[in-house]
């Protein structure tokens, strides 16, 4: 029996492993120093264009409140960045790249009560479009106290005022797609609806029409939601605005459920696409199991040149025997060929899902 006065071990309790709590850390905390060859000596931040380089800024104080002052200390500045290479190895050069962190600034280029903003959704539909319309509207009106937010209907065609759109059944006046003013009441609950309350379309891009519209309606902030083609157009609108000396900021919001963007971790709509893909995979698994002998279920998923949806759906479903992605060249025969692999799976399981 241990009778030491400083022993607090209860009967039946196994002794603690040696050095579990007493191992010294090199920095005095819970972290050890990495090898000296893993260092970052300099960080280069991707340059972000700013209207203040072309026009005089309002330098308005960022109050962040709809007429109600409250403490908000987590402002971001030029020194707040996200490192592009989060994983560091000894073989990497000491220089790193970074992206400017998004977030509220202490001073604003525009004076919020003078801001008239507009938002437009372009291209194909994607889960989350109404969430974007809702959050942009509520952020501008609630947090910043903007004067108004317009919703442009029917994609870029909504900027073509006083004109007529030709359709298969005749013609439809664009007046029926007149912009709508987005309010708290209008956007409340739209996140539960599919599609976009603004409507969407392909084509209709005309930089002159867009800038004329923004000038007539005193739009100073334009939010454009769309894919790669839409963003090429958005970039052109921004450049043309500078050429015409139109004091307009253009913000592009990437819309791709394929998750085929670097920089960001995940694009909106991607999780929904992966979830929907699992239903197709489960159906294919049932077909393969029930079609005897040697049933094969084949599922083709969207993604264009990126295999993120296919890969994540495969990992989540657990029923897939072979996943083919655009990033990896397909070999039909040979040691790593698709056909020999499927043949081996059929011999073992009697079915396969590709």
Active site residues: 258
Structure token pair of residue 84: 């592009």
Structure token pair of residue 299: 């599922």
- Are 46 and 97 spatial neighbours (Cβ–Cβ below 8 Å)? yes
| Residue 345 main-chain phi, psi, to 5 deg | -65, -40
What is the 8-class DSSP label of residue 189?
Answer: T
Q: How far apart are CA 345 and CA 354, in angstroms?
A: 11
Angle of helix 270-290 relative to helix 308-317, nearest 10 degrees? 60
Q: How far apart are CA 23 and CA 29, in angstroms?
A: 10
Q: How far apart are CA 275 and CA 277, in angstroms?
A: 5
Q: How far apart are CA 89 and CA 221, in angstroms?
A: 42
Label the pairing between strands 95-100 and 81-83. Answer: antiparallel
For the chain, how are helix, strand and coil distributed in percent, rounded to 5? 30, 15, 55
3-state secondary structure of 229: helix
Neighbours of 239 (CB within 10 A): 13
* Cβ neighbours of residue 163 closer than 8 Å, sequence gap 6 or more: 174
Q: How far apart are CA 297 and CA 354, in angstroms?
A: 6
| Residue 328 main-chain phi, psi, to 5 deg | -115, 120
């Amino acid at each position: 029996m241990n009778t030491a006065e400083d022993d607090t071990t209860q009967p039946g309790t196994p002794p603690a492993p040696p050095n579990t709590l007493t191992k010294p850390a090199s920095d005095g905390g819970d972290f050890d120093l990495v090898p000296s060859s893993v260092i970052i000596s300099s960080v280069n931040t991707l340059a972000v264009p700013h209207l203040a380089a072309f026009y005089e800024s309002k330098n308005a104080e960022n109050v962040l409140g709809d007429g109600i002052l409250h403490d908000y200390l987590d402002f971001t500045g030029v020194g707040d960045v996200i490192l592009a290479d989060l994983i560091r190895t000894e073989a990497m050069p000491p220089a790193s790249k970074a992206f400017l962190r998004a977030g509220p600034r202490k001073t604003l280029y525009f004076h919020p009560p003078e801001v008239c903003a507009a938002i437009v959704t372009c291209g194909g539909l994607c889960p989350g479009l109404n969430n974007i319309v809702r959050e942009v509207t509520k952020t501008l009106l609630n947090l910043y106290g903007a004067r108004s937010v317009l919703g442009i209907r029917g994609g870029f065609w909504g900027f073509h005022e006083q004109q007529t759109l030709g359709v298969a059944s005749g013609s439809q006046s664009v007046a029926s797609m007149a912009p709508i003013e987005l309010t708290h009441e209008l956007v409340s609950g739209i996140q539960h609806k599919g599609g976009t309350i603004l409507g969407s379309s392909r084509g209709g891009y005309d930089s002159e029409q867009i800038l004329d519209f923004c000038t007539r309606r005193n739009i100073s902030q334009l939010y454009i939601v769309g894919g790669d083609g839409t963003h090429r157009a958005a970039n052109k609108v921004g450049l043309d605005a500078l050429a015409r000396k139109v004091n307009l900021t253009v913000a592009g919001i990437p819309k791709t459920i394929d998750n085929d963007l670097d920089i960001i971790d995940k694009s909106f709509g991607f999780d929904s696409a992966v979830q929907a893909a699992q239903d197709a995979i489960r159906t294919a698994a049932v077909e393969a199991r029930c079609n005897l002998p040697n049933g094969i279920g084949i599922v083709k998923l969207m993604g264009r040149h990126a295999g993120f949806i296919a890969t994540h759906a495969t990992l989540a479903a657990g029923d897939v025997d072979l996943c083919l992605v655009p990033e990896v060249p397909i070999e039909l025969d040979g040691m790593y060929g698709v056909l020999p692999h499927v043949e081996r799976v059929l011999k073992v399981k009697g079915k396969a899902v590709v």
